Amino acid sequence: SEVYRAGLSGDRPKVPVDAAALELAAKKGLTAEAFAYLAGGAGAESTMAANRAAFDRWRVWPRVLRDVSKRDLSIELLGRRRPTPFVLSPIGVAEMAHPEADVAVGRAAATLGVPYVLSNQASRPMEEVAAQMRDASFWFQLYWSRSDELNASFVRRAEAIGCEAIVVTLDTSLLGWRTRDLDVAYLPFTRGLGIAQYTSDPVFADLVRDRVAAGGTAGPKSRVTPTLLASALSIARSGSHTMLVEGGVAEALRSPLPRAAVETFLDVFSDPSLTWDDLASLREWTTLPILLKGVMHPADAARALDLGIDGLVVSNHGGRQIDGAVATLDALPGVLERVGGRIPVILDSGVRGGADAFKALALGATAVGIGRPYAYGLAVAGAEGVREVVRNHIAELDLTMGLAGRTSIDAIGRDALAPAQA
């Protein structure tokens, strides 16, 4: 009703409300490469399609005449009452969508009380985003690096800025076969994008210095600091924008320090040899709640429980990792059954509106993660675009609840859905 009321005075929403129109609007304003990075999935993108199809296999089964004049969307999650059951999933290299990147997303999330999961691959250091978010909730997403010192340092920094939880993403031990990115020979990292979390880190600066000193790259032999690293990289990148047009992509990163930073990043980014045993060390580094993102199998959910993990995110990375993977909504019931209500289970991948969220909640998810839609909102209208997209999700969920005869999230049970007839 706020949108309609604003319409009376001639105000229109800044971003399209329809999910497909939103994606198209983002596409129009972005370079082909940037859109390929945001929108693309693995292989033939059949996992992306499966994520959507799984939502279509459930229909909402409404009840009527139940006084739905007051509705409460709040949930309890990680020891706090939250105004809505949404979280913003981590999206790396957000500068591909908008120059304000993570900072704009953080500002939008804070105004709505929606927890924002800061990406390990952020375009802005976590400290900068946290400063924008003040008392609002944010969590930090970790890609487990080959360097334990670096992992511990990221976690220490997250704790120091008031982060509420650590989310370890487990589905990206290797980067997926992303056809659209491959077609444009595009790997953001090799251009020094999305590594702000690293170049602002003292341990990472040491690693770069060691690499330079070992003679791998010519350059300064000492005094590599996070500030020096970050500024060297940003100088190189500001040059790269013109060179990018001329096709000399790597040229700007030839200067020794940025190049050593990018090479070091590529060395340490992830650790494909990681096992359940390694996760135990994370408990020693932090007292914060630990969530595992990318858990799809009930047996893995059981291992997580054994380890005392505090929450799971059922996710297939928006279909960006394995082509042909199980849809998240299909994986959800098995995971929930094994978890038995002991820890919260968040679902993401394929959520395109509040009615989708309703279905995930009805099947038992504790909360729902928004991914690409907010990145598209960011691309179209910066922080305000993110805010509108998230508000649209909240508003559609609110209406779906009311129209289905449910007035609280707890009241949305399995009986609120019917399987679609073939």
Catalytic sites, residue numbers: 317
Instruction: Identify the residue among 47, 315, 366, 392 touching ligand FNR (CB under 6 A).
Output: 315
Taking the complex as a whole, the smallest distance from the CB of residue 149 to ligand FNR amounts, in Å, to 21
| Bridge partner residues of 369 (DSSP) | 87
Tell me which of 348, 356, 388, 396 binds ligand FNR, using CB under 6 A.
348
Beta carbon nearer to ligand FNR, 78 or 232: 78
The answer to whether 359 is annotated as binding is no
Identify whether the C-beta of residue 125 lies closer than 8 Å to the C-beta of residue 101.
no
How does strand 417-419 pair with strand 58-60?
antiparallel
Tokens 């900068």 map to which residue? 128
Shortest approach of ligand FNR to residue 115 CB, angstroms? 13
For residue 143, say whether it is annotated as part of any ligand binding site.
yes
**DSSP letters for 57-68:** TEEE----SS--
Stretch binding ligand FNR (CB under 6 A), from 10-18, 54-62, 250-258, 349-357: 349-357
CA-to-CA separations, 241 to 152, 186, 196, 246, 306, in angstroms, rounded: 34, 14, 17, 9, 49
Helix (H/G/I), strand (E/B), else coil: 115: coil
Q: Which stretch binds ligand FNR (CB under 6 A): 123-131, 202-210, 228-236, 347-355?
A: 347-355
Closest to ligand FNR by CB, 118 or 236: 118
Query: For ligand FNR, what does the binding mask look like between residues 159 and 188, x meaning CB under 6 A?
Result: ----------x-------------------
Residue 372 Cβ, how far from ligand FNR at the closest point, in Å?
3
Calpha distance 271→146 (Å, rounded): 5
Among 349, 366, 392, 407, binds ligand FNR (CB under 6 A): 349
Stretch that binds ligand FNR, among 23-31, 67-75, 278-286, 345-353 (CB under 6 A): 345-353
State which residue, 57 or 71, has the beta carbon closest to ligand FNR.
57
- Report the amino acid identity of residue 56: D
The whole-angstrom separation of Cα 303 and Cα 277 is 10
- As a whole number of angstroms, the distance between CA 338 and CA 159 comes to 30
Interface with ligand FNR (CB under 6 A), residue total 23
Nearer to ligand FNR, 112 or 212 (CB): 112
- Which residue has its beta carbon closest to ligand FNR? 371
d(CA 414, CA 362): 5
CB 386 within 8 A of CB 351: no
Buried b (16+ CB within 10 A) or exposed e, 149-183: ebbbbbbebbbebebbbbbbbbbbeeebebebbee
| Residue 141 is a binding residue for ligand FNR (CB under 6 A) | yes
The DSSP string of 203-229 is HHHHHHHHHHHTTSS-S--S---HHHH
Site string for ligand FNR, 55-94 (x = CB under 6 A): ----------------------------------xxxx--
Instruction: Return the residue of 136, 282, 331, 351 that touches ligand FNR, per CB under 6 A.
Output: 351
**CA dist., res. 85 & res. 102, Å (int):** 21
Strand, helix or coil for residue 368? strand
d(CA 27, CA 21): 10
* Footprint on this chain of ligand FNR (rule: CB under 6 A): 37-38, 89-92, 119-121, 141, 169, 293, 315, 317-318, 320, 348-351, 371-372, 375
Residues making up the binding site: 37, 90-92, 119, 141, 143, 169, 178, 293, 315, 317, 320, 348-352, 371-372
Annotated binding-site ranges for FMN: 90-92, 141, 169, 293, 315, 348-352, 371-372
